[in-house]
Amino acid sequence: MAALETVLANYEERLGVERLLFLEADLLDQRRHREWLDLYTDDALYWIPIREGDTDPLRQVSLVYDDRRALEERVTRLESGQAYAQIPASRTRHLIGSLQVLSSGDGAWAAKGSIAVFEVRRGQKIVYAGACAWDVRDVDGELRIASKRIDLVESELPLGNLSTIL
């Protein structure tokens, strides 16, 4: 995660970061996973820890700790027609709230907020909620997500099939 030796992003910067994060939410809800993946940098990290608070991913097991290769594997799997955990696929809506965007001043931003993901699958409604932090970077003039960390309020509970992408 980027150091927060930063200041609040200005209005235009904030709009740009918001547009990226809302696009991410929308692509996930539309299950356009390949296009979603394109929003991430080549060195991206996607992390859902389990332990609340400070946790060391090298010593503590996580729910997800995906580098770019693992994210691509995840998407390829979802497209394969053999990811039974997503047959039938989940319907979801991602909500992002309480968003704060900080700027490093040199093409990098740190966004944090709350997310809720409403999922309907197998005749059940499930809600995931948590704190979410994104690192956003300007890559050749396009904003990309360099990391996403989701601290779910239910991370330490037994969970069922969490094959939808939060």
Partner 1 sequence: VSLVLLERNEPLITDDWRVSTDVYRDPFVFAAEMQTIFRESWIFVAHETEIPNPGDYKTTHVGSQPVIVNRDTDDGSVHVMFNRCRHRGTAVCQDEYGNANFFRCAYHGWTYKSDGRLAGVPFEDGYGDRLDKAEMGLVHVPRVATFHGFVFCSLREDGPSLEEHLGNAAPYLEAISRIGGGIKLTAGAQKIGYDGNWKLQIENTIDPYHFSFTHKSWLDILAVRSGERGSYLKNLTTNPDWRTLDLGNGHSAQEFGDWQKAGNSNTGSGDVLPFALIVFPSLAFVGAQLRHILPRSVARTDVFLYPLMLEDESRNANTLRDHEAFYGPAGMGAADDVEVGFDRVTAGQKASATTADWNLMSRGLEREQPLEHGMVAGHVTDELPHRAYYTAWLGHVGARDGA
Applying the rule CB under 8 A, the residues between 18 and 77 that interact with partner 1 are 48, 50-51, 57-65, 70, 73-74, 76-77
In the DSSP assignment, the letter for residue 9 is P
41/163 with CB nearer partner 1:
163
Determine which residue in the list 3, 5, 11, 80 makes contact with partner 1, applying CB under 8 A: 80
Applying the rule CB under 8 A, the residues between 85 and 144 that interact with partner 1 are 85, 87, 122
Contacts of 4 (CB under 8 A, 6+ apart): 102, 110
Size, binding site for partner 1 by CB under 8 A: 32
Provide φ and ψ at 108, rounded to 5°. -140, 140
The tokens for 54 are 């400070």
Instruction: Report the nearest approach of partner 1 to the CB of residue 24 (Å).
Output: 17
Q: Hey, what's the torsion of the CAs at 16, 76, 113, 152, to 10 degrees?
A: 180
Q: Which range touches partner 1 (CB under 8 A), out of 21-29, 97-105, 132-140, 152-160?
A: 152-160
The tokens for 106 are 């040199």
Residue 137's DSSP bridge partners are 108, 144
120/139 with CB nearer partner 1:
120
For 17, 96, 150, the CA distances from 78, given in Å and listed in that order, are 27, 24, 21
Instruction: Report the nearest approach of partner 1 to the CB of residue 63 (Å).
Output: 5
6/163 with CB nearer partner 1:
163
106/125 with CB nearer partner 1:
125
Q: Tokens 């200005």 map to which residue?
A: 10
Q: Does 82 bind partner 1 (CB under 8 A)?
A: yes
Provide φ and ψ at 36, rounded to 5°. -60, -45
In the complex, the residues that contact partner 1 under the rule CB under 8 A are 48, 50-51, 57-65, 70, 73-74, 76-77, 80, 82-85, 87, 122, 156-163
